[in-house]
Each structure stands twice: as C-alpha cells, then as structure tokens.
Amino acid sequence: MKEIHPDSPKFWEQLSKVKCDDSINKKCLKPETWNKAAATYDDLEKCKDYQTQVTEIINILQQKGALDKKNVVADIACGTGTYAIRMAPFCKGVICLDISEGMLARLREKCSRYSLSNIEIIQADWQTYEPAREFDMVFCSMTPLLRNIENINKLVASAKRFIGIVTWAGVRKNRLLAEISREIFGKEMNQRGQDITIAFNYLYSLGLAPHLTFFTGCWERIRPAKAQAENLIWRLEMKRPLSEQEKDVVRKKIEKMADERGLVKTVSTVRTCFMLVDKLQNKDRINCH
C-alpha cells in the first residue's frame, strides 16, 4: 500500500477524522451548547487584546480587497456577529449563518442598534446547509467546524475568491479553568480546541497559498460571580455533565474570588492566527512575465 505523505491532502483528511471523533468536538456542534453561552458571549469584546485582533483582521481584509462595496461575504458560524457587524459597512452584504438561535438573537439586536440593513441572518448548520450561490469571501472564526475536512472543502467551494479563517494557534491557557478541572476531573481539560495546523496544511496541500497573521495576548473576561461560575460550568461540561455537587464546588470557589463589586475576572493566555486565502494566488495560476 502506497504511503501517504504530509504533502498529500489525504494525509490531512485522515488526521481530521481522528480529531472529529471527540466528545468535546461533537458537543461543540450542537445548538443548545451555544445557546447557553449567548448571554455573556460578547463580554470578550471589552478586552483590549481581543479588540486589537478584530480591528487588525478587518484592516487586512480591506487591504487585500476582500472587503469591497461590490462583494458579498458569508460569515459561517458567525455567533453574535463580532466580525459581521464590522465587515458590513465595507461590503455589499454579509450572509450570517449559525446553528444557535441564542447567538443569532444577539446579532439581530446589534443589527438594529447599528442600523445595519445589509446583513442577512440564516439559522442553519453549515454541515448540512447547501449554499444557493458562491460568495466573494467565506469567513469563519473560532469554530469547531474546521476540524472536519468536508466543512473546509465546502468553504473552498463556496468562495469565489477569498477564504478567511480565524482559529487557535497552539496556545490557549486559562489558569482558573485548569485549576478547577484538576479538582473535578483529576486532570486539566484540553483547552486548545481546533487548531490552525490541519486547516493550513490541508489548504497548502491543495496548492493554495494562505497568508498568515498571528496574534498573542491575554483575553480578560470580567463578569458578576454568578455569570462567571455558570460560564466555567459550561466550559467544564464540554467534557461531561457535572453533578449538582460539582457545580456547587465551582460556584463556591468563584464566589470567594469576587471583589467588592461582586465581579470576578478570568484571564486566558492565547495565540491565535488569521489565515487569508486568495484563490487567485493559487500556485497553478501564477504567471511569470
């Protein structure tokens, strides 16, 4: 049997199948999982390092021509529309697709708040959704959909020219979550989530030339103790359901950490990557003059 090398798309297809066979990944693809997180999901937008990342990505998209008044963008697994509402003023329209009604409800609020009329919202699962058209750019950020090569293939097929992907790049560490997971599970949870490795190497093996921009920083979330505890429970239950006793352990620990205002801050050390693919720069289309 012929050996499959890392420069072959089949190598990354097979590796992605291993990554997809994961209980946390499966739970991340269910709408009820994200409905639970929707209420406090936008808390991260108050974080300076996160704001810097989002602003820089929008700047890159403008500089590369992905955001243009003639372009229609599809934001896949758009969540509450962090990127969509910032892309909308610079393009013809944004099609926002997500599986979670809770997330989309927050996005609708933003569209109304900022008087954005060129955002179309679709509640659907990208894994089963059949796009009726191609888009000038297909964009997605921090989604477990990227673990599945079939989902990446659909991104490529649906993009006339640009594919934009934001995802983890090897570093994601929340000390408080790690400490609590050791107490409850006896070991730390894997916090890295989907990573740039498979998506980048698969696209590279197809002959595409991804442009990479890395970001490092500390993502801070400041919430009331109750909300912070429930969010941590949500994170822990990605691994398995917690008993009421285990939930009480989390709640009591967080209550003790609250400041005089009743707030608790969590910090995640992160490295992320923005990958932009311009299909016109496919190596097979490069002409030398």
pLDDT digits (tens, 9 = 90+) for 245-269: 999 999 999 999 999 999 999 999 9
DSSP class of 16:
H
| CA distance linking residue 22 with residue 45, whole number of Å | 29
Would you state the pLDDT for residue 1? 37
Structure tokens at 84: 């969509």
Q: Each residue of 87-99: pLDDT tens digit?
A: 999 999 999 999 9
Would you state the pLDDT for residue 7? 83
Q: In 3D, which of 42, 265, 41 has the Cα closest to residue 174? A: 265
- pLDDT > 70: percent of the chain: 92
Question: For the range 181-190, what are the long-range contacts, defined as Cβ-Cβ under 8 Å and sequence gap of 24 or more?
Answer: 181/236, 181/239, 183/249, 184/236, 184/242, 184/246, 184/249, 184/250, 185/236, 185/239, 189/235, 189/236, 189/238, 189/239, 190/24
Residue 193 has pLDDT above 80, yes or no: no
| 13: confidence class by pLDDT, cuts 50, 70, 90 | confident
pTM to 2 decimal places:
0.91
Residue with tokens 């009331």: 224
The helix/strand/coil state of 253 is helix
Q: Which domains does the chain have, with CATH numbers?
A: 9-170+192-215+270-282 (3.40.50.150)
Residues 48-54, mean pLDDT to the nearest whole number: 96
Q: In 3D, which of 136, 273, 137, 135 has the Cα closest to residue 199? A: 273
Would you state the pLDDT for residue 17? 78
Q: In 3D, which of 128, 17, 15, 139 has the Cα closest to residue 76? A: 139
Would you state the pLDDT for residue 287? 47
The residues, any chain, with a CB within 8 Å of residue 202's CB and separated by 6 or more, are 9, 12, 13, 16, 149, 152
Would you state the pLDDT for residue 147? 85
In Å, what is the CA distance from 274 to each residue of 8, 93, 162, 169, 252? 23, 21, 13, 9, 38
